[in-house]
Structure 1
Amino acid sequence: MTTTRRTLLAAAGASLAAPGIAPALAQANRWPERPVEIAVGFVAGGATDLDARAAAPLLERRIGGSVVVVNRPGAGGEVALASVARARPDGHVLGTTNMPGLLTIPIERQAQYKLDDFAGIANIVTDPTAITVHEDSAYRTMADFIAAARARPEAVTYASPGVGTDDHLQLVLLQAATGTRFTHVVFQGDPQLLAAVLGRQVDSMGLNLGPVSANRDKLRTLAMAGAARSHFRPDVPTLKELGFDIEMASERGLVAPAGTPPAVLAKLREAMGDVVKDPDFVRILQSRFTEPRYEEGSAWFTRLRGLQENYRNLWQRTPWSQR
């Protein structure tokens, strides 16, 4: 054995003997040891659920283990996120997130989780929220919609998937900008919202442009809250171009419990980066009038921490739990 080879082997042995390195590498090499669960905070068939189910088989191929999607609806996504926050941080329990609910729920109430309970894997989708009515509604335009709310405060109903969601905060900002008051009605997910508007149980709904466009039969979308018109729906004006300084969207991503081993997190982040670029994933999202938007987990969470103060300031100006 040459001196050089002895030196290299000794160095490698010393490296592996360093406290924590060998166990961490061994754990990462064994992972996953059982099915990886993705908890979804909304009912099956909604946009968040469909994102997870589109990603799951593609993630399986990249990590070499099975991935299952489990729906735990309730409290605007809090039930599922709390289950992830409490899970063993070994990479076998993940959760979908929805922005801004990920940040707003702990601001508005004593929530069962906080942002620091998680490690970001990746943001994968951004889908602007929209205001939609039945196609036979008397509200043909946003001007009609606002005029009716001004004439009859709290008489016009507006449905959303939960307090503090992007769809609800769109309403909070619209009321603040126009001096109107709507009656907010909560449903647990997209299918229920769509059924409520189609069944004329509510006058309007806040729901992302993707699911609205994928189910547009007998619906009329009055406006959407993106920064610019969507190439999927160039017929729908933005709230900004209609004179309302409102921009709001659902950012949907994936998190793991805080404390998940860095090597496992690195594998998950790399895998999801590949998934979001996978032609099958892109095609599925485009069929739902949605585009992927990848943001790596650490950079994503750095941005989210910066956004927390914006939402705290909004809460102080107009507490959305009362709206």
Structure 2
Amino acid sequence: MNIKLTLVAGTALALLTALPAPAQPVEEFPTKPMTYIIPFNAGGESDVSARYQQSVWKDVTEQDVVIQYQPGAGGAQAWSQLNQIEGDGYTIMGINLPHTVLQPMEGSVGYATDELTPVHYFHYTPNAIFVQKDSEFKTLEQLVAYAKENPGMVTFAGSGANSANNLGQAKFDKLAGITTTYVPFSGTGPSMTAILGGQTIAGFNYVTSGVNVGEDLRMLAVASDERLPAFPDVPTFKELGYDMAGGAYRGVAVPDSTPEELRQRISDIVQQINEHPDFKKKMEDGGFVLTDITYDKMDAFMEEMKAEYAAGAEALGIGK
């Protein structure tokens, strides 16, 4: 009898030992440092905004976040590998629009838009039109009037072909009833250099460039719903009669194996960071516009953006 009891007890102990450890309560996540992959080189808007997040990450989570860079193919190299990462919540990745919609439309890039899992879009950098500070064009209407009289002669430097800048230029042409020429460069820096050097008449760039370049350029209009704190004297396109707002959206994505409760938890963390006063000041001073596209709103937001970008892609001849 004693032998049988011993055997039963031993078997029960073995079964208990084999059971998985209790899952960590989601509200306690994270309990160790996280890794934040930026799919571009250091120094761009994606990196700058992630660094601002990093500066207050520990205040919100009580844990550090380590930023790593995985550049290549305009972000596609990293996004194509996102779902191969373990979905335990401890590795997140920066994600951008319109990149992740337009890239698959252009051709095979190793991922499809719907295969990615964004959990929060926390800001966008609005498009803006720039000219040299001593340009003859003092207002947007002067530039539009010249473009109407000289179709194709107004050249806009922008950050890459089929980018948010390019989409913005195409939409503005349609709204203003003009034809301009978009000149793509390999990034924001080279495109701003082109404007400063007189290689193009103007630039269709991100408003954050106005912070970096300072008084060497004049901003004629910004594609935000309201005037920006960093540029209170610059009118919005809407003020000037053109119904357009937008630019490049940036957010955080996770591997598709990440459980729903962790997706929501990470979205909550990013939202709390957006509300941190130090982070808000840095972003607003830098010309970024904070958004809170939370995980529960993501499906509806993505459907809206895919429809909008599909119309823009048609105007740019993408996917034909």
**Structure 1 regions of 5+ residues with no counterpart?**
1-16
The aligned residue for residue 38 of structure 1 is 37
**Counterparts of 2:72 and 2:147, CA distance in 1:** 29
Q: How far is the alpha carbon of 1:148 from its aligned partner?
A: 4.0
**C-alpha offsets along residues 182-210 of structure 1, whole Å, 9 cap, x if unaligned?**
1322222x333333322333332222223
Aligned partners of 1:39 and 1:69 also within 8 Å: yes
Aligned partners of 1:123 and 1:293 also within 8 Å: yes
The aligned residue for residue 197 of structure 1 is 195
Structure 2 residue matching 1:212: 3-state secondary structure: helix
Indicate how the Cα distance of structure 1 residues 201 and 89 shifts in structure 2: closer, same or farther if over 3 A, else same.
Answer: farther
Q: How far is the alpha carbon of 1:74 from its aligned partner?
A: 4.8
**Counterparts of 1:75 and 1:200, CA distance in 2:** 29
**C-alpha offsets along residues 168-192 of structure 1, whole Å, 9 cap, x if unaligned?**
111111223323031322222x333
Q: How far is the alpha carbon of 1:33 from its aligned partner?
A: 6.2
The aligned residue for residue 118 of structure 1 is 116
| Residues 164-175 of structure 1 aligned to structure 2 (within 5 Å) | 164-175=162-173
Which of 92, 102, 105 aligns to 1:104? It is 102
Structure 2 residue matching 1:216: 3-state secondary structure: helix
Aligned partners of 1:119 and 1:260 also within 8 Å: no
Q: How far is the alpha carbon of 1:274 from its aligned partner?
A: 1.7
The aligned residue for residue 182 of structure 2 is 183
**2:134 aligned with 1:136, yes or no?**
yes
Q: How far is the alpha carbon of 1:308 from its aligned partner?
A: 1.6
**Counterparts of 1:158 and 1:135, CA distance in 2:** 15
Alignment RMSD:
3.1
| Residues 1-323 of structure 1 aligned to structure 2 (within 5 Å) | 25-26=23-24, 35-41=34-40, 43-63=41-61, 65-177=63-175, 178-188=177-187, 190-316=188-314, 318-321=315-318
Aligned partners of 1:108 and 1:315 also within 8 Å: no
**Counterparts of 1:23 and 1:320, CA distance in 2:** 54
Q: How far is the alpha carbon of 1:94 from its aligned partner?
A: 2.1
Aligned partners of 2:38 and 2:47 also within 8 Å: no
Aligned partners of 1:154 and 1:183 also within 8 Å: no
**C-alpha offsets along residues 126-169 of structure 1, whole Å, 9 cap, x if unaligned?**
33211111212233222333344445544433222223332211
Instruction: Give the counterpart letter for 1:312 in structure 2.
Output: A
**Counterparts of 1:200 and 1:87, CA distance in 2:** 45
**Counterparts of 2:150 and 2:81, CA distance in 1:** 42
Q: What TM-score results when the alignment is normalised by the length of structure 1?
A: 0.78
Question: Which 10-residue stretch deviates more, 51-60 or 217-226?
Answer: 51-60
Indicate how the Cα distance of structure 1 residues 164 and 94 shifts in structure 2: closer, same or farther if over 3 A, else same.
Answer: farther
Question: Which 10-residue stretch deviates more, 222-231 or 44-53?
Answer: 222-231
Structure 2 residue matching 1:217: 3-state secondary structure: helix
**C-alpha offsets along residues 266-294 of structure 1, whole Å, 9 cap, x if unaligned?**
33223222211112211211321334222
Instruction: Give the counterpart letter for 2:183 in structure 1.
Output: H
Q: How far is the alpha carbon of 1:244 from its aligned partner?
A: 2.8
Indicate how the Cα distance of structure 1 residues 78 and 133 shifts in structure 2: closer, same or farther if over 3 A, else same.
Answer: farther
Indicate how the Cα distance of structure 1 residues 191 and 319 shifts in structure 2: closer, same or farther if over 3 A, else same.
Answer: closer
**C-alpha offsets along residues 77-129 of structure 1, whole Å, 9 cap, x if unaligned?**
33343343443433343222232333233334333323322222212113321
Instruction: Give the counterpart letter for 2:120 in structure 1.
Output: A
- Give the greater-gyration-radius structure (CA): 2
Runs of 4+ off more than 6 Å: 27-30
Indicate how the Cα distance of structure 1 residues 199 and 100 shifts in structure 2: closer, same or farther if over 3 A, else same.
Answer: same
**Counterparts of 2:233 and 2:197, CA distance in 1:** 24
Structure 1 residue matching 2:89: 3-state secondary structure: coil
**Counterparts of 1:158 and 1:87, CA distance in 2:** 39
Structure 1 residue matching 2:227: 3-state secondary structure: coil
**Counterparts of 1:159 and 1:24, CA distance in 2:** 56
**C-alpha offsets along residues 289-314 of structure 1, whole Å, 9 cap, x if unaligned?**
33422231231343112332232234
Indicate how the Cα distance of structure 1 residues 220 and 278 shifts in structure 2: closer, same or farther if over 3 A, else same.
Answer: same
Instruction: Give the counterpart letter for 2:233 in structure 1.
Output: D
Structure 1 residue matching 2:123: 3-state secondary structure: strand
Aligned partners of 2:33 and 2:65 also within 8 Å: no
Question: Identity of paired residues, percent?
Answer: 23
Instruction: Give the counterpart letter for 1:282 in structure 2.
Output: K
